[in-house]
Structure 1
Amino acid sequence: MLEKYNVRTDLALEEKERFESDQVEIPGVILEEEYEDELEIQITKVKIETENGAKSMGKPVGVYLTIEAPNMAMSDEDYHREISEKLARKIGEIIHLQEKEICSVLVVGLGNRQVTPDALGPYVVDNLRVTRHIMKEYGKYAMEMEENGIVSAIVPGVMGQTGMETLEIIKGIVSETKPDMVIAIDALAARNSKRLNRTIQIADTGIHPGSGVGNHRSGLTKETLGIPVIGIGVPTVVDAATIVNDTMENLISALETSEVLKGVGNVLRSYNNSEKYELIKELISPHLNGMFVTPKNEDELVKQISYTLSESLNMLFTEMKTNN
């Protein structure tokens, strides 16, 4: 009997897919899907409505919206502009689910700027239109447009640089500046290598810095900060076992077409996804366990998608009204 399947992913969509592949329904978890032909994007909403559903999924009760855009890895400015517009609308929909009116937002760029796959958060903050200091000094009419949200931003770094938990830093800032909401941006880990830099997840449950690579830190959530927290993440890494698993799938397909080795392929095909993944983890070299892989052009891809995210947030904040 193989050990319990424990896939390394931050995407609620992939957790739901894992159960579907094993033909298991999860009570309390609802899946809604839509496809846009014009942009060639798949939008999936996973709603975890009960504590039992949360326990099964390994994620808190809440809404997880995933936008998959295979063409997002291409350097097409017009396409990325359209994705930004779509993303701004979807983030707005998540924000509107909150009980209170949101006028001021603190954007937190999580990650380590010196490690390319982990630099997404800092890069997004670099291109944000920050307005809090201007509005505090001159009022909203000092801005180019009359309707603007109050936006502040921080790149807290990582514990190895600051000696402090990210939560400790953000708690102090929230206490002092009193925003209505926190939006946290972070790099994630995916189960499927095809989703790297092509998928964006928006969650109303907050975010746990470092969870993508197994460094579990105190989460930025409504419970820990006292205000709503929206988590926005993009998968930039997969673990080594996932790469080997994808290779194994190709091997099984090749074996099934061979008359001599067809029986071997059929035996391997009879394993469900969890059994295959655990078999791979047992066979993989010990020094590869815990290793994470990223595309060779990750520096270009991270910068590109960070522009897309920051542009979508700038669009969103421009539409937010202030009470000043």
Structure 2
Amino acid sequence: MMDRYNVRTDLALEQRERFVSDQIEIPGVAVEETYDDMCEVRVTTVRIETENGAAVMGKPVGNYITLEAPKMAEADESYHREISGKLMEVLEGCLPEKEDGQSILIIGLGNRNVTPDALGPLVVEHLDITRHLVKEYGKYALDGEADRLVSAVVPGVMGQTGMETVEIVRGIVEETEPDFVIAIDALAARSVRRLNRTIQIADTGIAPGSGVGNHRNAITEETVGVPVIAIGVPTVVDAATIVGDSIEEYVAKCRDEGMRENKEHLIPPYLYGMFVTPKDIDETMERTSYTISEALNALAAGQAHI
């Protein structure tokens, strides 16, 4: 039972918070935090610098940048425009050194038929795809706005294709030779308040499905041959976590330390492996996917502002 109660989260920030709450410092892990008053966005960078830090955190060495925007789940176009601009700034800082004609391959991970897992495919739907046009007519066919060439693919999931996603991506990379890959996927969070209000950018690549215990082979520079930037938004939370938090709050009120330590025994077994998503997930996913696609379109066009 103890093993099953392991908290599932794809967010490096939440993984780090578990140790902070216990007042434990992790050697080889550095944290930086800034707050933008104008767009009310908190940007936290968790930098895993050593293999020891990676082992403790359960994540590869690299940088994990989290944008927390409490109002991102709201239908406010001007606010989402601000988030797109902030996301583009962060992405610019993660990308390899810029060269003329840089090529981006964008991978929309997930299952289009399952709404909480449809972020990647939805983002791809809103992208300005330019590689074929620039290859055929040159960037001036787009009024000189194509600073980077963009191609994209939605590889589906193994149940639909019978192939590991990394196999598909590796084949496309070998054929089209992009300078780097950007992979977009839905994530799992530890905290309900971060659902659809948080964007994580990682320069370490991504392991599709890891947050819900469905581990697939990772898409990284080592496995596909070019740098991989991952963009993710948490859309689900473990049901057992919600129940566990409620029990912990109740136990804390009762001031019964013994019960607090054994709270996992009070969680019904059928809740393990069950994930919960907000009821307005359809609308939220449409807005969030558009916000991310606008940042990527601006990045490709080389725009300083959105």
For this structure pair, what is the TM-score category when the shorter chain's length is used for normalisation? over 0.9
Please, which of 245, 266, 283 is the counterpart of residue 255 of structure 2?
Answer: 266
Q: Greater CA radius of gyration, 1 or 2?
A: 1
Name the structure 2 match of 1:113. 112
Mean CA deviation greater in 242-251 or 166-175: 242-251
Q: Do structure 1's residue 67 and structure 2's residue 67 form an aligned pair?
A: yes
**Shift >4 Å, 4+ stretches:** 2-5, 99-102
Partners of 2:22 and 2:5 lie apart in 1 by 11
Name the structure 2 match of 1:57. 57
Partners of 1:247 and 1:304 lie apart in 2 by 30
Name the structure 1 match of 2:191. 192
Q: Do structure 1's residue 306 and structure 2's residue 305 form an aligned pair?
A: no
Residue 14 (structure 1) shift: 0.5
1:278-313 CA-to-partner distances (Å, cap 9, x unmatched) read x44332222211100101111111111000000010
Residue 71 (structure 1) shift: 0.4
Tell me the SS of whatever aligns to 2:231: strand
What letter matches 1:313 in structure 2? L
Please, which of 231, 252, 275 is the counterpart of residue 292 of structure 1?
Answer: 275
Q: Do structure 1's residue 319 and structure 2's residue 306 form an aligned pair?
A: no
1:96-175 equivalence runs, <5 A: 98=96, 101=99, 103-175=102-174
Tell me the SS of whatever aligns to 1:135: helix
Partners of 1:130 and 1:120 lie apart in 2 by 17
1:237-289 CA-to-partner distances (Å, cap 9, x unmatched) read 01111111232344246x3xxxxxxxxx2224995xxx4xxx44332222211
Q: Do structure 1's residue 229 and structure 2's residue 228 form an aligned pair?
A: yes
Q: 1:268 to 1:297 in 2, by over 3 A?
A: farther
What letter matches 2:65 in structure 1? L
Q: Do structure 1's residue 218 and structure 2's residue 217 form an aligned pair?
A: yes
What letter matches 2:90 in structure 1? K
Residue 178 (structure 1) shift: 0.4
Partners of 2:267 and 2:143 lie apart in 1 by 57
Tell me the SS of whatever aligns to 1:184: strand
| Superposition TM-score, scaled by structure 1 size | 0.89
Equivalent pair of 1:87/1:312 in contact (CA under 8 Å) = yes
Name the structure 2 match of 1:244. 243
Equivalent pair of 1:187/1:212 in contact (CA under 8 Å) = no
Partners of 2:110 and 2:3 lie apart in 1 by 32
Tell me the SS of whatever aligns to 2:215: coil
Partners of 1:190 and 1:3 lie apart in 2 by 18
Tell me the SS of whatever aligns to 1:80: helix
Unmatched 5+ residue regions in structure 2? none
Residue 314 (structure 1) shift: 0.5
Partners of 1:245 and 1:39 lie apart in 2 by 33
Tell me the SS of whatever aligns to 1:66: strand
Equivalent pair of 2:64/2:202 in contact (CA under 8 Å) = yes
Unmatched 5+ residue regions in structure 1? 256-264
Q: 1:150 to 1:267 in 2, by over 3 A?
A: same
Tell me the SS of whatever aligns to 2:127: coil
1:28-47 equivalence runs, <5 A: 28-47=28-47
Residue 43 (structure 1) shift: 0.5
Q: 1:3 to 1:286 in 2, by over 3 A?
A: closer
What letter matches 2:144 in structure 1? M
Name the structure 1 match of 2:86. 86
Equivalent pair of 2:199/2:234 in contact (CA under 8 Å) = yes
| Superposition TM-score, scaled by structure 2 size | 0.94
Partners of 1:67 and 1:288 lie apart in 2 by 30
Tell me the SS of whatever aligns to 1:238: strand
Mean CA deviation greater in 142-151 or 13-22: 142-151
Aligned alpha-carbon RMSD (Å)? 2.0
Tell me the SS of whatever aligns to 2:72: helix
Q: 1:193 to 1:32 in 2, by over 3 A?
A: same
Partners of 2:41 and 2:85 lie apart in 1 by 13
